[in-house]
Amino acid sequence: MKADVGAPLAPFGLGQLLRLPAYGRNIGGAAEFVVIPALALAGSLVLFGVFVALFRKNPLDLYFYMYQGAFGTWFSWQNTLTRAAPLILTALCTALPAQLGMVIIGGEGALLIGALSATGAALALQSAPPLFVDLAMACAGMIGGGLWIMLSGALRHYRGVNETISSLLLVYIALAILNYLVEGPMRDPTSLNKPSTREIGAANMIGSIPGTDVHWGFVLGIIAALLAYILIYHTVFGFAARVAGGNIRAAKVVGLNVGKLILIICFLAGAAAGLAGMMEVAAVQGRTNANLAAGYGFAGILVAFLARQNPLAVIPVSILLGGIGASGGLLQRRLGLPDASVLVLEGMIFVMVLASDSLYGRFGFLRGKAA
């Protein structure tokens, strides 16, 4: 392997190598990247319709209510986008390390640590102006979450510990730390039956995007996804990361500092999830308690895989899953389906999208001239 890949690369200087147009390869197959996931999605909707029909519910009603609940009214749209907001950020926690070939599934832990750090910052700065407090919260949240996932990266790089396992186990450690602090040192003594930290204060709360109920976390998520896309596909650093992800030995041969790449990417990934945690505190809950462990981190894994780890695709996929979540309520209320039916649909989409991987490159007409 080393000889095969390393040898042709070696004559180039690193600078030359990194100036190659990294995105050129993707343009030809762009149509594939829209059509195949759309087919997979349509296939899973049909399959879900059959599943629902087995329970003697009309699949056409199902599609109608799903559409209405997710996108059919202005309210439904806001509902969908509100649910999508944390998913964009937590999905980046999985999608960024995936560029390096790492499977990080501990976004939930980074979210919790980010929320705790942000709450700690807000409580320490009670007398400061709100804008300053919010900025400090965002920084603390990103640093807290970033260091948390960086820990998994460091374990992988220095000790050879599998990052998937370590990041998952760190979720339970994060949850234990959160419960300990919320029920112990950081507990608001008046929170009797629902142990919580003190509130960050109404003045420090971040409001909604004007004219909507959707909090600013949605906009931050889109910005973060765009930045992540630019970083990965349009910078030298991102290209180096993808080289390391493609073949770590080749990357080492051409002199890339793989350890540094792993630590930085893991930090950025955790920072995104930490920011999601900070926004949950600053825009939704107003304090930290066990409510924060609502599974956004785990839903983010699903989003990242459905988006094929592409930071830009994370945005529409988050909106799609937000929409499925939003319509789930209407399915329960109008069709009497149990909550778990939404999980069935998500599972079907997941399997169909993964299975559709085998279709890439089989439709010549989709590839255009570049093929």
Partner 1 sequence: MNFDRISRRRVLQGTAALTFGAALPLRPATAAETTVGFVYVGSRDDYGYNQAHAAGAAALKSMPGIKIVEEEKVPETDAVEKTMESMINLDGATLLFPTSFGYYNPHMIKIAQKFPKLRFQHCGGLWSEKDPKNAGSYFGYIDEAQHVSGVVAGYMSKSGKLGFVAAKPIPQVLRNINAFTMGAKLANPKITTQVIFTGDWSMPVKEAEATNSLIDQGIDVVTCHVDGPKTVVENAAACGAMVCGYHVNQAVLAPQAYLSGAEWNWEVLYPRFVKMFTAGETIPNFYRGGLKEEIVKVSPYGSMVSAEARKHADEVKSALISGSYVIFKGPVADNKGNTVIAGGISRGQTDPELEKMNYLVDGVIGATS
The residues that touch partner 1, with contacts defined as CB under 8 A, are 34, 38, 41-42, 60, 63-64, 66-79, 82-83, 179, 183-184, 192-195, 213, 215, 280, 284-286, 289-292, 294-295, 316, 319-320, 325-326, 329-330, 332-333, 338-340
Are 144 and 118 in contact, with CB atoms under 8 Å apart?
yes
Distance in angstroms (rounded) separating the CA atoms of residues 110 and 149: 6
CA gap 8, 16 in Å, rounded = 13
Q: Residue 297: name the closest of 78, 140, 118, 94 by CA.
A: 94
- Give, in order, the Cα–Cα distances in Å from 338 to each of 64, 203, 227, 331, 335: 17, 39, 39, 8, 9
Say how many CA atoms lie within 13 Å of 355 toward its Cβ: 11
Q: State which residue, 72 or 101, has the beta carbon closest to partner 1.
A: 72
We find the least distance from the C-beta atom of residue 67 to partner 1, in angstroms, to be: 5
Comparing CB distances to partner 1, the nearer of 164 and 191 is 191
Based on CB atoms, which residue is closest to partner 1, 253 or 344?
A: 344
Tell me how far, at minimum, the Cβ of 161 lies from partner 1, in Å. Answer: 25
Find where tokens 């709100």 sit. 130
Nearer to partner 1, 247 or 332 (CB): 332
Q: Alpha-carbon distance 95 to 344, whole Å?
A: 23
Q: How far is CA 114 from the centre of its chain?
A: 14
- Closer by beta carbon to partner 1, 259 or else 316: 316
